[in-house]
């Protein structure tokens, strides 16, 4: 990694107090340094004035990209990580300081050349935009789930902009999400049993560890907790988590129970407070029939996603091996955990706009809210893997003139919790069948993005951005070769609140 032409002290702007305080000179001095991450620079800014500072950066002095703004430290130094740069590439950057009175101080230009990535540990990624089409801007956050898998962020051309190397041995990330504080929260666990040897880590943009919780740490916290139902032992955390507005963290953890001599694996939903202490727990063994197992057993429920509904404070839990989304009475930590409804085949909603049972979802992954509201009349989209799809009586899938047995879809469902109807507003069959993984979301521009974790051929994942109509025209697509893409998510940038 090379550092070029770093100006240690640039006097850039003079501000004279107008109220008799004398001539007061404020200056801004910037210094750029490498970090442990070859694609992340440390920009240190010194200024004598209170305000906020951000960094503009790019391939030339037109810059083009910016970090978020952080408060300055008057009389001290403010450090910002500059991330979102391609590897082995020279960049220009400069700090912009905004003072409280609207005055802007501009640092001089600094040069920084990013380091080289380890080719043996980076995935092969290609991305294509359809001619004449414009995808939703931002970057792609990849949760890769096979081989030497590392959380990765790319631009929309497939160039790697950020990668996390310090993956605990023998584990895969599942999931990875950008936090409001600019850090990443990543859950790692072994793939053989959900949650096995799990470790939940918060890391900054350089990859430095902020805090972590192992499965042993979580079990110790459960043993010390007085919350109802917390006197259990879990295997570990897995698949998903939800960050709440009050700073709490909702995690999924697997647990085991002996049922007539068979070790059955189910899941619990745990609410961790701001200090990562369990304060509420929901156990599937207490609320569901263990004799219902349409897809697999004794991996009974295989919970793989949890959504927080801000409108009513409840949770929506995705259970792949039940072919259900269930709404749980969490009520912001005061709920009794009753199941309010089950969505899916043999659930509580009537399907409209499609064929029941075929057009329900099966072995699903990655649901997300579509509508601004999250209760009453609202919309969800998800990835329907279709592993154990049920067909109407008299239909033999795969037979001449009949539908294939295995195919995946992306349904967007408009739910009415009063009428108990689920109406298909969008329902596209994906280019390939994906037997596991995936997710779906509606982007800011209204397009639908979905991830086929195992879109094939071979160990290959595909991500698509398509129009939300019957033609489902592809706007943009990404291929990840040699890795399964468990999830792909379009995020605005590597900085909360900043759109690239």
**For residue 497, is it within any domain?**
no
- Please choose, from the candidates 432, 429, 472, 467, the residue with its C-alpha nearest in 3D space to the C-alpha of residue 453: 432
Of 94, 113, 132, the one marking the end of a domain is 113
Of 71, 96, 113, the one marking the end of a domain is 113
Residues 207 and 81 in one domain: no
**For residue 253, is it within any domain?**
yes
Residues 337 and 445 in one domain: yes
Residues 89 and 209 in one domain: no
> pLDDT at position 6, please?
34
- CB distance 207 to 173 below 8 Å: no
Q: How many residues does the chain have?
A: 500
- CB distance 158 to 488 below 8 Å: no
User: Residue 444 is encoded by which pair of tokens?
Assistant: 């800011």
> pLDDT at position 40, please?
98
**For residue 499, is it within any domain?**
no
> pLDDT at position 193, please?
84
Nearest-angstrom CA–CA distance, 309 and 328: 10
> pLDDT at position 24, please?
52
- Please choose, from the candidates 99, 107, 114, the residue with its C-alpha nearest in 3D space to the C-alpha of residue 31: 107
C-alpha pair distances (Å), 144 with each of 100, 123, 147, 150, 294? 43, 9, 9, 6, 28
* Strand 124-129 with 262-272, pairing: unpaired
- CB distance 117 to 78 below 8 Å: no
Residues 16 and 157 in one domain: no
- CB distance 254 to 267 below 8 Å: yes
Residues 87 and 182 in one domain: no
User: Residue 150 is encoded by which pair of tokens?
Assistant: 């590392």
> pLDDT at position 277, please?
98
> pLDDT at position 249, please?
98
**For residue 496, is it within any domain?**
no
Please provide the distance, in angstroms rounded to a whole number, between the alpha carbons at the two ends of the chain: 25
Residues 97 and 129 in one domain: no
C-alpha pair distances (Å), 197 with each of 192, 213, 254? 10, 11, 11
User: Residue 215, SS3?
Assistant: helix
> pLDDT at position 149, please?
85
Nearest-angstrom CA–CA distance, 64 and 350: 50
Nearest-angstrom CA–CA distance, 177 and 156: 18
- Please choose, from the candidates 309, 311, 237, the residue with its C-alpha nearest in 3D space to the C-alpha of residue 272: 237
- The residue written with tokens 């001539």 in the block is 23
C-alpha pair distances (Å), 475 with each of 146, 331, 452, 486? 27, 39, 16, 21
Q: Give the structural domain span for 268.
A: 119-491
User: Residue 472, SS3?
Assistant: coil
> pLDDT at position 192, please?
77
Q: How many CA atoms lie within 13 A of 2 on its CB side?
A: 9
Sequence-distant (6+) residues with CB within 8 A of 231 are: 222, 223
| Backbone angles phi and psi of 431, in degrees to 5 | -60, -30
For residue 191, give the CATH number of its domain: 2.130.10.10
Residue 224 is inside which H or E element, if any? helix 215-224
For residue 46, give the CATH number of its domain: 2.60.40.10
> pLDDT at position 313, please?
98
* E strand residue ranges, 233-331: 236-243, 249-259, 262-272, 278-283, 303-309, 314-319, 324-328
| Backbone angles phi and psi of 340, in degrees to 5 | -80, -35
Residues 185 and 270 in one domain: yes
Number of domains into which the chain is organized: 2
User: Residue 24 is encoded by which pair of tokens?
Assistant: 């007061």
Residues 439 and 471 in one domain: yes
> pLDDT at position 28, please?
78
Residues 47 and 136 in one domain: no
Sheet containing strand 184-189, strands side by side: 172-178, 184-189, 199-203, 209-214
- Please choose, from the candidates 161, 158, 160, 191, the residue with its C-alpha nearest in 3D space to the C-alpha of residue 174: 191
Residues 109 and 163 in one domain: no
Residues 193 and 307 in one domain: yes
**For residue 498, is it within any domain?**
no
Of 91, 113, 135, the one marking the end of a domain is 113
**For residue 484, is it within any domain?**
yes
Residues 90 and 130 in one domain: no
Nearest-angstrom CA–CA distance, 485 and 150: 11
Q: Give me the tens of pLDDT residue by residue for the chain, a chain 500 residues long.
A: 433 333 333 333 333 332 223 345 566 789 999 999 999 999 999 887 889 999 999 999 999 999 999 999 877 899 999 999 999 999 999 999 999 888 899 999 999 999 999 888 888 999 999 999 999 999 999 999 876 689 999 999 999 999 998 999 889 999 999 999 999 999 999 977 899 999 999 999 999 999 999 999 999 999 999 999 999 999 999 999 999 999 999 999 999 999 999 999 999 999 999 999 999 999 999 999 999 999 999 999 999 999 999 999 999 999 999 999 999 999 999 999 999 999 999 999 999 999 999 999 999 999 999 999 999 999 999 999 999 999 999 999 999 999 999 999 999 999 999 999 999 999 999 999 999 999 999 999 999 999 999 998 888 999 999 999 999 999 999 999 999 999 999 999 999 999 99
């Amino acid at each position: 990694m090379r550092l070029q032409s770093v100006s240690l002290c640039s006097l850039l702007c003079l501000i004279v107090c107008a109220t008799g305080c004398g001539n007061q000179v404020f200056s801004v001095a910037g210094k750029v340094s490498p970090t442990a991450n070859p694609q992340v620079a440390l920009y240190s800014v010194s200024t004598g004035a209170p305000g906020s500072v951000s960094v503009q950066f790019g391939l030339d002095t037109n810059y083009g990209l910016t970090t978020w703004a952080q408060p300055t430290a008057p009389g001290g130094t403010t450090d910002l990580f500059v991330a979102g740069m391609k590897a082995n590439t020279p960049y220009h950057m400069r700090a912009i300081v905004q003072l409280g009175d609207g005055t802007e101080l501009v640092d001089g230009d600094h040069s920084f050349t990013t380091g080289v990535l380890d080719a043996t540990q980076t995935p092969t990624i290609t991305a294509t935009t359809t001619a004449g089409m414009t995808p939703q801007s931002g970057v792609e956050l990849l949760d890769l789930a096979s081989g030497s898998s590392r959380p990765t962020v790319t631009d929309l051309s497939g160039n790697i902009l950020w990668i996390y190397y310090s993956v605990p041995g023998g584990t895969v990330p599942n999931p990875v999400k950008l936090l409001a504080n600019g850090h990443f929260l990543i859950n790692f666990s072994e793939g053989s049993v959900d949650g096995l040897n799990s470790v939940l880590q918060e890391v900054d943009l350089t990859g430095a560890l902020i805090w972590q919780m192992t499965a042993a740490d979580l079990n110790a916290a459960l043993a010390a907790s007085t919350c109802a139902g917390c006197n259990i032992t879990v295997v570990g955390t897995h698949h998903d988590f939800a960050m709440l507005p009050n700073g709490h963290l909702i995690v999924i953890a697997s647990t085991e129970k002996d049922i007539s001599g068979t070790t059955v694996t189910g899941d619990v939903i745990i609410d961790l407070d701001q200090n990562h202490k369990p304060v509420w727990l929901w156990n599937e063994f207490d609320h569901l029939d263990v004799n219902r197992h349409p897809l697999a057993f004794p991996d009974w429920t295989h919970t793989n996603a949890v959504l927080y509904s801000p409108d009513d404070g409840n949770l929506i839990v995705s259970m792949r091996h039940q072919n259900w989304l269930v709404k749980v009475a969490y009520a912001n930590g005061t709920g009794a955990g009753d199941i309010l409804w089950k969505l899916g085949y043999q659930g509580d909603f009537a399907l409209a706009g499609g064929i029941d049972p075929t057009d329900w979802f099966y072995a699903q992954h990655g649901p997300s809210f579509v509508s601004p509201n999250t209760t009453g009349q609202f919309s969800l989209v998800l990835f329907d893997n279709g592993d154990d799809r049920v067909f109407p009586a008299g239909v033999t899938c795969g037979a001449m003139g009949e539908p294939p047995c295995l195919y995946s879809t992306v349904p967007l469902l408009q739910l009415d919790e009063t009428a108990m109807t689920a109406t298909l507003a969008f329902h596209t069959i994906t280019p390939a069948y994906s037997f596991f993984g995936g997710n779906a979301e509606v982007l800011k521009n209204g397009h639908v993005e979905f991830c086929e974790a195992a879109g094939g051929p071979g160990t290959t994942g595909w991500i698509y951005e398509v129009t939300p109509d019957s033609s489902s025209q592809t706007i943009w697509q990404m291929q990840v070769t040699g890795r399964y893409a468990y999830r792909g998510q379009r995020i605005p940038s590597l900085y909360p609140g900043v759109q690239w």
